């Protein structure tokens, strides 16, 4: 805004005392001060408001005005409340330094002037930034614009003082890396975005986390008429550290323009995954069709330079299988593409699965199931098991944010294979990952993951026991104990669990439960009497163990 515009607003109560020829100066901010030397707080272009408390004699005016003029301020507005009127020595000093001077009526608060100037400057800066965003949009729609989303977020920070980030619904930070968000905060914001999207709240969504307010703007891709479940779990969204509830329409329009600009970059990245998806689809079809290992190996040799540049032609592999299930109406294109997009988002996040996996995978889908082919260094996992992708790592990364998006009618289950070292072993890895996913599917919860290590345990068998058999088995063994506990508060069930976890050791179990050994022997005897079992026999111990696991 220009200084001249201040005189056109009667409510501000400003009267020009000098500097009429300088009224076309641009105002870039406002500052209120009564310091004798405020130079350290001036950046140039400000309208300075002062109550004149710094003035003790006429010579003070010359020093003060000289400091302001040297700092490049746009103008000075002096309040009349302190001295009754603006002193003549200040008027003369401003004239000598060609600094426009206004008087402020004592019935006008400096806060009113500050609010007016900030609003005008912010609106103009937003308009200027909107033009820049529009230019970037045109550039990105015709080709790479250099810098991508980070460049646009830098503009928001420099021009509007807005800290902003782009996140995925898995909590992955895509842009805004100059000041990255903590992992827990990203997961919380992703969960809030998913919950707001599921309930169709109007955007921007506002949330308070850790004492700070954030506004969340969805980044739309594809046809808005499509079923929202098709992209819900893999969308991006813009996070702004501010409360957008009282923003003017111009600023909201600007942020919507930013989301449209970022959506162009999202679509470009989607297009870049086409080759990887095609290669993964070819490998999946060969493996499922039982093609000879030599044919699968040949296809992998062709794919390796694309999937694993720099890792050589013979990497190791892991397979991840995912399935997304929705209650109610089926998706028009099936759930396979949903699971595919979700796996791509989850497995390219270095924070979630480690830097060895970022942007080095290919994902395909068949029916309602997606399969990720994850290449590893040919010298890594064999010597360092920690370099493998783990079920626990995936569960930790995905359960927090995605549970909010699946709440009510959705479910995600994943299975992770062991590392295999040859094309011949890929078919086994795929089946292993599928079996692990079925184990995960038998567990309660919206997001469940199982790994290959669970397939060599009783855990593999339990999920496939029919529900009626499970109920009958556990009822026969445990119901007498539950009834007794309810009547006598005897804690027989906790005692049984502790006894089995201590491998039948009387001393360790008594110490763990803070009981005398004789008390423990009494409780175990009561368990045996009520159930007709003998806890010194391995078979009966195993039955109790399985019953507790299935209950």
Bridge partners, residue 323, by sequence: 369, 413
Residue among 452, 413, 412 at smallest CA distance from 432: 452
Predicted confidence (pLDDT) at residue 494 exceeds the cutoff of 90? yes
Mean pLDDT score, 414-428: 83
Q: Write down the pLDDT at residue 473.
A: 81
Q: How confident is the model at residue 385 (pLDDT cuts 50, 70, 90)?
A: very low
What class has domain 274-462?
alpha beta
Top-confidence range, 85-89, 126-130, 167-171, 368-372: 85-89
Q: Are 175 and 166 in contact (CB under 8 A)?
A: yes
Give the model confidence (pLDDT) of 297-324 as tens digits.
Answer: 887 777 666 665 554 445 678 889 999 8
- How do residues 128-153 score in pLDDT, each as one tens digit? 555 555 545 543 443 444 456 787 78
Residue 147: its pLDDT value, please? 56
Mean pLDDT of 326-334: 68
Question: Would the pLDDT of 227 be above 80?
Answer: no
Which tokens hold the place of 496? Answer: 């049984």
Lowest mean pLDDT among 210-219, 374-383, 389-398, 536-545: 374-383
- Is the pLDDT at 338 greater than 80? The verdict is yes
Q: Is the pLDDT of residue 381 over 50?
A: no
> What is the topology classification, in CATH, of domain 4-108?
3.40.1390
Of residues 283 and 525, more confidence is placed in 525
pLDDT score of 551 more than 90: no
Q: Is residue 102 within 8 Å of residue 8, measured between CB atoms?
A: no
- pLDDT greater than 70 at residue 528: yes
Domains of the chain, by residue range, sit at 4-108, 146-272, 274-462, 467-550
Residues in contact with 472: Cβ distance below 8 Å, sequence separation at least 6, in sequence order: none
Distance CA(322)–CA(395), nearest Å, equals 12
pLDDT: is 158 or 129 the higher one? 158
Task: Quote the CA–CA distance of 270 and 344 in Å, as a whole number.
Answer: 10
Tens digits of per-residue pLDDT, 103-117? 988 888 888 888 888
The mean per-residue pLDDT over the stretch 455-470 comes to: 62
Average pLDDT, the chain: 80
Give CA–CA dist 333/339, Å, rounded. Answer: 12
Residue 486 has pLDDT above 80, yes or no: yes
CATH code matching the domain that covers 146-272, chosen among 3.30.450.30, 3.40.109.10, 3.40.50.300, 3.20.20.70? 3.30.450.30
CATH of domain 467-550: 1.10.10.2840
> Whose CA is closest to 472, among 543, 385, 377, 367?
543
pLDDT value for 464: 57
* pLDDT more than 70, % of the chain: 83
Buried b or exposed e, range 228-260, using 16+ CB within 10 angstroms: ebbbbbbbbbbbbebebeebeeebbebbbbbbb
């Amino acid at each position: 805004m220009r200084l001249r515009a201040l005189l056109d607003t009667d409510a501000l109560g400003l009267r020009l005392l000098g500097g009429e020829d300088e009224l076309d100066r641009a105002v870039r901010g406002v500052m209120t001060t009564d310091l004798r030397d405020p130079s350290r707080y001036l950046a140039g272009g400000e309208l300075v408001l002062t109550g004149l408390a710094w003035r003790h004699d006429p010579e003070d005016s010359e020093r003060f005005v000289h400091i302001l003029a040297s700092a490049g301020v746009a103008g000075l507005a002096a309040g009349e409340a302190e001295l009754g009127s603006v002193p003549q020595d200040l008027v003369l000093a401003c004239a000598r330094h060609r600094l426009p001077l206004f008087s402020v009526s004592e019935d006008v608060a400096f806060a009113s002037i500050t609010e007016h100037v900030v609003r005008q400057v912010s609106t103009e800066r937003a308009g200027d930034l909107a033009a820049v965003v529009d230019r970037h949009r045109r550039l990105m729609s015709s080709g790479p614009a250099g810098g991508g989303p980070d460049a646009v977020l830098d503009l928001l920070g420099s021009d509007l003082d807005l800290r902003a980030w782009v996140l995925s619904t898995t909590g992955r930070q895509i842009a805004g890396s100059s000041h990255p968000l903590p992992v827990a905060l990203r997961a919380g914001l992703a969960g809030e975005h998913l919950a707001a999207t599921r309930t169709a709240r109007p955007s921007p969504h506002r949330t308070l986390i850790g004492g700070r307010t954030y506004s969340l703007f969805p980044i739309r891709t594809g046809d808005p008429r499509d079923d929202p479940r098709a992209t819900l779990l893999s969308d991006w969204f813009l996070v702004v550290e501010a409360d957008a509830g009282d923003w003017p329409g111009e600023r909201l329009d600007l942020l919507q323009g930013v989301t449209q600009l970022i959506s162009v970059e999202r679509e470009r990245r989607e297009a870049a995954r086409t080759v990887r998806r095609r290669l993964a689809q070819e490998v999946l079809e060969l493996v499922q069709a039982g093609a000879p290992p030599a044919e699968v190996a040949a296809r992998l040799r062709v794919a390796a330079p694309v999937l694993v540049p720099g890792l050589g032609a013979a990497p190791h592999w892991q397979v991840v299988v995912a399935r997304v299930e929705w209650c109610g109406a089926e998706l028009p294109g099936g759930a396979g593409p949903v699971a595919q997009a979700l796996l791509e988002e989850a497995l390219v996040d270095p924070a979630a699965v480690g830097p060895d996996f970022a942007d080095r995978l290919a994902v395909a889908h068949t029916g309602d199931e997606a399969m990720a082919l994850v290449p590893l260094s040919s010298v890594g996992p064999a010597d360092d098991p920690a370099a493998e992708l783990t079920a626990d790592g995936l569960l930790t990364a995905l359960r927090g944010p995605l549970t909010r998006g699946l709440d009510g009618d959705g479910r995600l289950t994943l299975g992770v294979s062991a590392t295999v070292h040859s094309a011949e072993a890929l078919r086994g890895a795929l089946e292993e990952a599928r079996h692990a996913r079925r184990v995960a599917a038998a567990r309660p919860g919206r997001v469940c993951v199982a790994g290959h290590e669970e397939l060599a345990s009783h855990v593999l068998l339990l999920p496939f026991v029919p529900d009626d058999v499970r109920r009958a088995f556990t009822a026969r063994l445990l119901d007498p104990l539950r009834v007794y506990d309810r009547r006598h508060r005897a804690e027989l069930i906790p005692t049984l669990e502790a006894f089995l976890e201590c491998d039948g050791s009387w001393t360790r179990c008594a110490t763990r439960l803070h009981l005398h050994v004789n008390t423990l022997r009494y409780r175990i005897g009561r368990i045996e009497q009520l159930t007709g079992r003998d806890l010194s026999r391995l078979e009966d111990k195993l039955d109790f163990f399985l019953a507790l696991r299935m209950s």
